[in-house]
């Protein structure tokens, strides 16, 4: 019995064939294991597709799309899946120790076009696994307090990963964990069309590798996904 749904969301700004290659990877990974709900701004062939139309790219609209996916899920657990990420099956096999705990997998490396993998100790929504009910309750509470897109307070504090900025926006603390013990890393690809844009390197905080098992050489992986 499937107990976890993959919630894929995108603003459809990534260029093909990269975006299609990522979707194909997710389809192959989830086959006969996990249902997929894709919430997109243009129609795509990925699981149960819900096209919301071209509402625009913002962290608020990203939360709207996640909320729609969660509302349509039927399983006890959900996993957030972003359009520029390659996930290993091991990531989706994990279940948090509590139904009221957001779990972020920080074994996540960025593939840079220069040909290196870069790691930073950072929790991101794209690596979140959480119970459907707790995600739904958390987002409902935020939308009730902030029903419209706003620039004050900081929208990245409102709609960033639950557990990080509740104090700044006057909301109750949300329990979360940061886990590094997933044996196989997640990889994501840096690009200018992402919501956060091209992030600056910080050598004092970042780690770098040119080869990362099982993904292999960074330059080869970049070329493979973009062809």
The count of domains in the chain is 1
Residue 85: domain span: 4-226
pLDDT value at residue 103: 97
pLDDT value at residue 21: 97
Distance, in Å, from the CA atom of 22 to the CA atom of 24, rounded to the nearest integer, reads: 5
Strands 102-105, 176-179: parallel, antiparallel or unpaired by DSSP?
A: parallel
pLDDT value at residue 227: 84
Beta bridge partners of 129: 79, 103
Phi/psi at 154 (nearest 5 deg)?
Answer: -50, 120
Distances in Å between the Cα of 213 and the Cα atoms of 57, 62, 64, 184 are 33, 31, 35, 8
Of 147, 16, 140, 132, whose CA–CA distance to 76 is shortest?
A: 132
Distance, in Å, from the CA atom of 65 to the CA atom of 49, rounded to the nearest integer, reads: 12
Number of helical (H) and strand (E) elements in the chain, helices listed first = 6, 14
Q: What is the pLDDT along the chain (227 residues), one digit of tens a residue?
A: 489 999 999 999 999 999 999 999 999 999 989 999 999 999 999 999 999 999 999 999 999 999 999 999 999 999 999 999 999 999 999 999 999 999 999 999 999 999 999 999 999 999 999 999 999 999 999 999 999 998 888 999 999 999 999 999 999 999 999 998 889 999 999 876 656 555 676 777 899 999 999 999 999 999 999 98
pLDDT value at residue 201: 62
pLDDT value at residue 44: 97
Q: Which residues contact 47 (CB under 8 A, 6 or more apart)?
A: 6, 8, 27, 30, 35, 36, 37, 38
pLDDT value at residue 49: 98
pLDDT value at residue 1: 44
CATH number of the CATH domain containing 12:
3.90.550
Asked if 64 contacts 74 with a C-beta cutoff of 8 angstroms, the reply is no
- Reported pTM: 0.93
Q: How many residues does the chain have?
A: 227
Distance of CA 82 to the CA centre of its chain: 4
pLDDT value at residue 186: 97
Asked if 65 contacts 37 with a C-beta cutoff of 8 angstroms, the reply is no
Distance, in Å, from the CA atom of 158 to the CA atom of 144, rounded to the nearest integer, reads: 12
Question: Alpha-carbon torsion 31, 105, 180, 192, what sign?
Answer: positive
pLDDT value at residue 192: 67
Distance, in Å, from the CA atom of 215 to the CA atom of 59, rounded to the nearest integer, reads: 29
pLDDT value at residue 9: 98
Q: Quick one: tokens of 69?
A: 């996916």
> Which residues of 96-173 form beta strands (DSSP E)?
102-105, 108-112, 116-119, 128-131
Asked if 179 contacts 163 with a C-beta cutoff of 8 angstroms, the reply is no
């Amino acid at each position: 019995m499937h107990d976890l749904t993959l919630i894929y969301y995108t603003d459809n700004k990534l260029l093909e064939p990269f975006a299609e290659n990522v979707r194909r990877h997710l389809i192959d990974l989830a086959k006969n294991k996990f249902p997929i709900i894709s919430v997109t701004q243009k129609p795509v062939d990925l699981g149960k597709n819900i096209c919301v139309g071209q509402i625009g790219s913002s962290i608020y609209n990203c939360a709207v799309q996640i909320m729609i996916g969660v509302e349509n899920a039927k399983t006890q657990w959900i996993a957030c899946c972003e359009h520029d990420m390659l996930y290993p099956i091991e990531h989706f096999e994990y279940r948090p120790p509590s139904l009221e705990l957001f779990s972020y997998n920080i074994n996540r490396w960025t593939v840079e076009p220069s040909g290196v993998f870069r790691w930073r100790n950072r929790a991101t929504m794209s690596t979140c696994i959480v119970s459907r009910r707790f995600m739904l309750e958390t987002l409902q509470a935020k939308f009730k307090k902030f029903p419209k897109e706003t620039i004050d307070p900081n929208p990245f504090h409102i709609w960033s990963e639950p557990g990080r900025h509740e104090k700044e926006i006057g909301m109750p603390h949300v329990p979360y964990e940061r886990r590094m013990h997933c044996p196989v890393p997640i990889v994501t690809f840096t690009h200018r069309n992402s919501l956060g844009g091209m992030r600056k390197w910080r050598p004092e905080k970042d780690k770098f590798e040119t080869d990362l098992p099982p993904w292999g050489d960074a330059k080869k992986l970049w070329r493979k996904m973009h062809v």
